[in-house]
Chains A and B, each alone.
Chain A
Amino acid sequence: MYDFRFKPFEEMTDEDYEKVGFKSGLEIHQQLLTEKKLFCRCPAGMFNKNYDAEILRHMRPTLSELGEYDGTALMEFKTKKEIIYRINRQSVCTYEMDDTPPFLINEQALEIALETGLLYGCNIVDELHIARKQYLDGSIPTGFQRTAIFALNGKIPYKDREIEIVQMSIEEDSCREVSDVGHRRVYITDRLGMPLIETVTGPDMRTPQEVAEVALLCANIVRSTNKVRRGAGAAREDVNVSVTGGTRIEIKGVPKISRIPRLTYNEAMRQWNLLRLREELKKRNITEETFGSSHHDITKLMKKPHYLPIKTAVENGEVIKAVVLKGFAGLLNWQTQTNTYFSKEISDRVRVIACLTTIPNIIHSDSKGDNLTSFEWFDVLKNCSATENDSVVIVWGSEEDTNTAVKEIIIRAKEATIGIPSETRQALRDGTNGFERILPGADRMYPDTDLPPKEITSEVLDDIRQNLDRPYFERIKWYKELGVPKNVISNLAVSPYTKLFRKSIEEYDLDPKFVSRSLTSDLNRLKKLNRIEQFDEDNLEKALKLVRDKKLSHSGIFYYLQKTFMNTEFNFDENSKLLSEDEIKKTAKEIIGSIDDTQLHNAEKKNEITIGIVMKKISLKAEGKTVREVVESILNGGN
C-alpha cells in the first residue's frame, strides 16, 4: 500500500491526498481583546522587547492528578535547561513570575469566550474548572498553563458537510522564546498571561487547502465578535495531521494561515515516508526486536581532525562518540520532507534533548562528503566494527550531553522500526517541520488548587445571547439573499456594525447595498484617507436615519461621515429635506452660470466636470443620480 510517492506540492491532487488518507484538524489560539490579563490585573496587549530584570528558573516534572509522570515532562527534565525570563515591569507583575497566587478569572475575557462558544453553537459547561496544564519547556514560569474548558460539541458548516468543534478552552498565553542555546533558554514575558481561547476542530479536513480554508473560516467567526485581538501573533494555529497508518502529529504555533498548506503537505509526506522507511527496514529484516546498535568513544581516534566542528570539540577537550546503526546503510539519507532527510530526525532529537544546539550536531557515514577524511572514516568504521551495511552517526560535546545524545540517537533510530513517534513539531519557515517535544498526554493535566470552580449561570448566558447577532453562517446567507455585493459580504460579516446593519434594513427600510457599503467600504476608505480609527456607532446610526428621513442623500453620506468623524465644521442643516428637482435645477443653473471656462479645460469631459462641481456644492442634499440628469439636461440645452 505504500507504493505511492509524494509529488511536489504544486502537483498533488485531492485524489493523491485521499490515497494517503490525509486527515487534519486545527487548534486555533486567539487572543481576546480585553483591558487586562486573564488571572492578574496587568494591562493586556502591551508588547515590548525591553526588560528591566531577569529571573532564572528550572522546571521539574511532578505527579499529575492520576499519579503518573507525563512523558514530555520526563523528556524536558532530561534536557536540564536553565530558563531565563525577561521582565518588563509595565506588563508583568509578581503573578506572571509565579510569586503571587492568581486573582479571580477576568470576567470580561470569560464573557467574550462564552460569546464565541455560542457563535460556534457549542454546549457551554455548567461549571468552569480551571486546570493546570504542564509545560516543562519553561514557556510559562509556573510550569503550567491555567486553562479551562468552557464549551463543547459545536459545529460549523463547510462545503457540503460540517466541521466539528470538539471543545473550546479559555487560557493564559505563554512567553515568547528569544533564544535557546545549549542549556540556556531565554523568554520574554510580555505576552504571558494574555487571555486567549483555544478552539479545537475535529480531524475533518481532507486536503492541506481545506485546512487553510477552515482556519480562515474560524478566524472570521471569532473576528465577527470584534472582541478579539488582531495583528501579528494574536492568532496562532496548531495543526494536527495524520495519514493512513500514521499517528496524530501536532505542528505547533503556525503564525499565518497561508503557511498551513505547505506545512501539512510536508507533515503528511514525512509520515508517509517514515512508514515507507519502516517497510524498507522490514525488507532488511530490521524490526523492533532485531534492531541492533552499538556506541563507541572515538575521541582518541580524532588526533588532528580538519573538520571544524570536531576540531573545535577536540580543542575544547570535549568527547566524540560514534553510534553504529546495524543494517541502516543509506537510510539516514532517506527523504522525509521537502529537501529533508531521516538524519534530520536524529539531529533534531540531539539538539532538543541533549542540548547540543550548534548545527551541525551530528555527521554520519551515509554522507561522508565534506566532513571527515576518508582515512578518518575508515578508522572510525574499523574501530566500531561497522560494516558497509551499517550506518555510523558521530556526535560530539560534553561528556554528559554526548551520553544523552547517544541514547537519543539509538532511541530515534529504533523508533523507525515502529513507525512514527508521537511528537509535537515546530513549524519552520521553509514549510517543513522539526521536532519540538514528545507529545504530551492527558497526564499533564491537574486541577488548579488556587482557584475555586466557577458556575456559569443561565442568567449570564442569556445576557450574552441577548446582545448576540445571529450566527455567522445565518448572517452570510441572509446577506446573500438581500443582494449585498459579494465583495462586501465577508467584511460586513466581521464588522462591528452587523447589528446596526440589521436595524437599518429591518427597521429603517434602507437599501442593503447602500448600507453595507457605507458600513464597510466607506469606513475603510475613511480609515485609509483620514486615519480615523474609531467610529462612534451612534453617529453612524444618526447618518443612516438622516438618509431614511430624506434629509441626507445616499451619495452624500461619505462626505457627511468624513466631516463628522474628523470633527470638522461643515454646513449641514439637519432639519431641511433633500432638494426637490426644481431646487436642484435652480441651483445647478446658478452654479453653471458662474463656472469659469478655465475650469473646463478638457472639453470632452465638460459634463463630468460640471456634475462634479455641482455635486460638491449640494451633494449632502441631493442624490447624485438626480444631479446628473438635471445637469446633463441643462447642458444639452434643455431648460
Chain B
Amino acid sequence: MGEKSFKGYSGKALSVLQKFNAPVWSDVELITSKGNYKGIILPRSETADDLHVVLKMPIGYNIGIKAESITNINIFGYKEAHYQIPEKEFPRDPSKPNVKLLGTGGTIASRLDYRTGAVIPAFSPGELYGSVPELADYCNLDTEKLYGVFSENMGPEQWIGTAKAIGKEIEKGVDGIVIGHGTDVMHHTAAILSFMVQNSPVPIVMVGSQRSSDRPSSDAALNLIHAVNTAAESDIAEIMVCMFGPTSDVYGLLHRGTRVRKMHSSYRSTFRTIGDIPIAKVSRDEIVPLRQDYKRRRKDKEVKIIPTFEEKVSIVYYYPNMKPDVIDSLVDNGYRGIIIAGTGLGHVNKPVYPALKRAQEKGVAVYMTVQTLWGYVQMYVYETGREMMQLGVVPCANMLPEVAYVKLCWALGQTDDLEKVKEIMLTPIAGEITEREPSNGYLIYQGGLPEVEEFISRYVK
C-alpha cells in the first residue's frame, strides 16, 4: 500500500492506520477503548494534527477519533468517492452567439478536495451545462482552462497569457469573452487587461464568486449567467467586471475594468465602481446601460494586444511616521517604479523627501495616488505638494492605486524613457483617469440615518 492511500495522515494516526492496513476510503469499524464506530476513513487535512482519524459515519457526519484509542480496525470494503459534476453535452444553436469562457482558477462550478479542504473547480462546457443549464439559453459556449491558480497567485505571467489568449479568440471571431477569475485580485487583472487589450470589438467580462459554488446559496451560477448574457448580448465592447449589485440574487453590475475595486472581504456585493457609476446593470433577462459613453461592439477584429510588463514596481501605502528607508530600500533593490498611496490629496511627510529626491536621481518613476480611493490627487493646494512635485513625484489624478500600479508596470515594460512613461501614465486609455467626477460617483450611504434606513427597507439589499 503506497503512501498516497493514507492521504493527509502522519505521525501517530498514520502508524495506526498502517498497522491495521486501513487506507483512506476503507469501510470500517473502529474498535476503540471508548466504544466502536462504523464508517469510512476519510483523508485528513494536512494542516490538521496527527493525532486523529477522520471517520465519515453512515448518516453522513464526520467525527475525529483519537488514534491512540484505536485497538483494532475491522475492514469491510473500500469506497472511494468519485467527484463528477453531471456532465451533459452543451447544446449548439447556430442562431446563438459564440462565447468563449477562459478559466484562470475561480470557482464557477466545483468540487471539494479533502486533502486541503479546498474547492476544486469543474469547468468543461459539459460540466457547466450540467450544473448551470441556463447558460444554453444565451449562447454556444466553449471553454479553455488557461490557468488553475488561486486569485492571489495571479501575476504577470498569467496576465500576459490571458491577454494573448483574448487576442486569439477575437481573431477567431468569437462574439464575447468571459474570464473566470478569483475575486481577490480580480480588479488588478481587470485593470491590466484594460491596458494590454485595447480596442476590443467584443465584450470581455470578468466573473467570479464570493460564495464558492459548492454551496447552495452560491452567487457563482447567477454571476456566470449574467456574465454570459453580457458577453453574448451586450453591445459594450470593454473589459468589465460582472458581479452582484446587491447581496440579493437580483441583478449584477458591469463595472469598467479600471474603476472597479473589491470593497468588502466577504460580501457578495463587494465590487463597486469608484469615483464614477457602473456601465450597466445586468439580469437574466436584460442589460440596462446606466451610461452611454461606453465603447460599442464592432464587427471587425481590430484588437490591439500590448502584453508588456515590468515587474520591478512597488506600491507604498503611506502612514504617519514612515521613515525614508522604506523608499530607499526599494531604490536600492533596483525598483524602477513606485506608486505611493498618499494621505488626503496625496501627501507624505517631510522626512521622506530626501528619499524621494534620491529616487528621482536614480531614475525611479514615482507616482502619487490617494489612499482615500475617492477623489483626485491635488498637489498644488499645499506647499508640501508642490515641493514633492519638484522632487519628481507625478500626480495620477483619480487613478486608483492598484490601477496606477499595473499601469506603471505596463508602461515601464514598454520604455525606459521616463518622459514617455509619464505620457503613457497620464493619457487615459480605458477610463482610469476621468476628467470629471460626477456627484453620484461617491455614494457611501451611512447606515443609521432615517432616510437611508427607509431606502434600505424599500429594496432588497
Contacts and interface: CB of A to CB of B under 8 A. Distances in A.
Interface of A: 52-63, 65-67, 69, 73, 84, 87, 94, 97-101, 123, 125-129, 131-136, 141-144, 147-149, 152-153, 167, 169, 441-447, 449, 452-453, 455
A67 B113 CA distance: 11
B64 A128 contact: yes
Contact of A99 (B56, B111, B267, B453): B267
B266 A57 contact: no
Given A63-B111, A153-B35, A445 B218 contact: no
Interface string B77-110: 0000111111000000000000000000000000
B453 A444 contact: no
Contacts of A87: 461
Contacts of A65: 56, 81, 112
A127 B69 CA distance: 13
B185 to A, nearest CB: 19
B214 to A, nearest CB: 5
A63 B119 CA distance: 11
Contacts, number: 157
A151 B84 CA distance: 33
Interface residues of B, number: 59
A136 B267 contact: no
Contacts of B34: 123
Given A67-B111, A94-B266, A94-B267, A148 B61 contact: yes
A373 B19 CA distance: 78
Interface string B442-461: 00000000000100110011
B248 interface: yes
B213 A62 contact: yes
Contacts of B64: 125-129, 453, 455
A444 B114 CA distance: 16
B250 A141 contact: no
B453 A142 contact: no
A4 B456 CA distance: 60
A63 B220 CA distance: 14
B48 interface: yes
A60 B60 contact: no
Contacts of A59: 216-217
B249 A58 contact: yes
A167 to B, nearest CB: 7
Nearest to A441: B60
Nearest to A142: B217
A97 B219 CA distance: 13
B18 interface: no
A439 to B, nearest CB: 13
B248 A56 contact: yes
B247 interface: yes
Given A67-B111, A129-B54, A149-B63, A73 B216 contact: yes
Contacts of B221: 60
A152 B64 CA distance: 12
A136 B249 CA distance: 15
| 8 A-B pairs with the lowest CB-CB distances in the bound complex, closest first | A127-B64, A143-B216, A445-B60, A442-B60, A129-B62, A56-B248, A126-B66, A143-B217
Contacts of A447: 62, 112, 114, 117
Contact of B268 (A58, A99, A131): A99
Contacts of A455: 49, 51-52, 64
Contacts of B85: 63
B290 interface: no
Nearest to A444: B60
B420 interface: no
B17 to A, nearest CB: 15
A449 B247 contact: no
User: Most chain-A CB neighbours within 10 Å: which of B65, B131, B215, B250?
Assistant: B215
A126 B69 CA distance: 10
B150 interface: no
Given A98-B211, A99-B266, A99-B267, A144 B216 contact: yes
